Amino acid sequence: MNYKSLFYSVVCCLFTAMVHGQGADLPPVVSATGDQIYCPSASVPIVVSISITDPDDTTTSAVYIQISNGYINGEDVLTLTGSHPNITASWDVIEGELSLNGPATYTEFEAAVLETEFSSTSPAPSGNRQFSITVGEPNFLPSTQHYYEFVSAPGISWTAAESAAAARTYFGLQGYLVTLTTQEEADFSGAQASGFGWIGATDVAVEGEWRWVTGPEAGTQFWQGRSNGTELTFANWNGGEPNNVGRNGEDYAHIAAASVIRGGAPIGAWNDLPNNGGGGAYASQGYVVEYGGMPGDPVLNISATTSLGRSTCHIITNKRITYRVKKD
């Protein structure tokens, strides 16, 4: 091979790699319609139409349908109806998420999503609902358009977790140790971690200056001081935290286990720890990775959202039929 043909083959392969992204696995594209009205004591499909296309696959392992906004635990349920021999559904009451588990073809998943219905046991359900339909493992939060994933890695240090998160990608999106800038995002990630998980915050550079040091927010200070300190943007500390205890202090933040939440703090509240974590409920279990918002990320459409509005419906019954009328 002469230099000229070597040059062209390198350019060709670089170009091919750029066009096709990382490896051969291209993301599916999901779109859905369905902005419907819910009548109490009825059930209603969560979509009117659904389309899942994929340039290089015909099957996938799972589709997740989550009540991503307005979920009322103990009242709301998503149910798969109809006959879907290659798909089993499981309902996670904590996360408000119905998993449709295959493997099955996209066509089969489309049919299953079309026959997934929302219902509420409340005679007068309140508020609206938003549903997110996602192909893939990490959960999607419509308000940030980002994906979140807890990675189990017992014993991992914060600094190792930071590197490990940055080494992960999801359909070409750059991973980073999670940055939590709203209560919704903090609650969402807290529910996923369901225990201990490192997050992208530290005050190692200057004691008491708590900053996000990962992701699009890298460098942003969100808290000044200890537990009686000042919230500058958003913080979600556990009661009495951060306290920087011990001879060497505590400079790395994590989502605390539910068993140590105190002082009225929400599940998923944060604590500061040394780089290697602590013992018992403070022993490191892993970390939470966020995907989205980084420079150079590809544009993905692997989730779609639909919504459900509440209506005042009255029920008309005659001798033959019962039907519901939307009253608005």
Q: Which of 214, 271, 303, 305 binds Ca ion (CB under 5 A)?
A: 271
Cα separation, 241 vs 218, whole angstroms: 22
Strand partners, 317: 322
Q: Which of 59, 88, 244, 307 binds Ca ion (CB under 5 A)?
A: 244
In this complex, which beta carbon is closest to Ca ion, that of residue 110 or of residue 185? 185
State yes or no: residue 108 binds Ca ion (CB under 5 A).
Answer: no
In this complex, which beta carbon is closest to Ca ion, that of residue 38 or of residue 270? 270
Closest CA to 308 of 31, 144, 67, 86: 67
For the bound state, the minimum distance from the C-beta of residue 73 to Ca ion, rounded and expressed in Å, comes to 24
Q: Which residues touch 219 (CB under 8 Å, ≥6 apart)?
A: 211, 212, 213
For the bound state, the minimum distance from the C-beta of residue 201 to Ca ion, rounded and expressed in Å, comes to 11
In this complex, which beta carbon is closest to Ca ion, that of residue 76 or of residue 251? 251
From residue 6 to residue 45, what is the string marking binding to Ca ion with x (rule CB under 5 A)? ----------------------------------------
Q: Which of 116, 272, 302, 305 binds Ca ion (CB under 5 A)?
A: 272
For the bound state, the minimum distance from the C-beta of residue 277 to Ca ion, rounded and expressed in Å, comes to 11
Cα separation, 135 vs 138, whole angstroms: 9
- Around Cβ 325, how many Cβ atoms within 10 Å? 11
Exposed, middle or buried, 150 (CB in 10 Å: 0-12/13-18/19+)?
A: buried
- Around Cβ 74, how many Cβ atoms within 10 Å? 9
Closest CA to 237 of 207, 273, 272: 272
- Around Cβ 232, how many Cβ atoms within 10 Å? 14
Both tokens assigned to 162: 């930071």
Cα separation, 129 vs 46, whole angstroms: 10
φ/ψ of residue 30, rounded to 5: -115, 130
From residue 178 to residue 207, what is the string marking binding to Ca ion with x (rule CB under 5 A)? -x-----------------------x----
Binding residues with Ca ion: total (CB under 5 A): 10
From residue 245 to residue 264, what is the string marking binding to Ca ion with x (rule CB under 5 A)? ----xxx-------------
For the bound state, the minimum distance from the C-beta of residue 259 to Ca ion, rounded and expressed in Å, comes to 15
Exposed, middle or buried, 160 (CB in 10 Å: 0-12/13-18/19+)?
A: middle
Q: Name which of residues 213 to 242 contact Ca ion (CB under 5 A).
A: 241
In this complex, which beta carbon is closest to Ca ion, that of residue 60 or of residue 179? 179
Q: Tell me which residue has tokens 């608005």.
A: 328
In this complex, which beta carbon is closest to Ca ion, that of residue 120 or of residue 179? 179
Stretch that binds Ca ion, among 103-111, 161-169, 177-185, 260-268 (CB under 5 A): 177-185
Q: Which residues sit at the interface with Ca ion, rule CB under 5 A? A: 179, 203, 241, 243-244, 249-251, 271-272
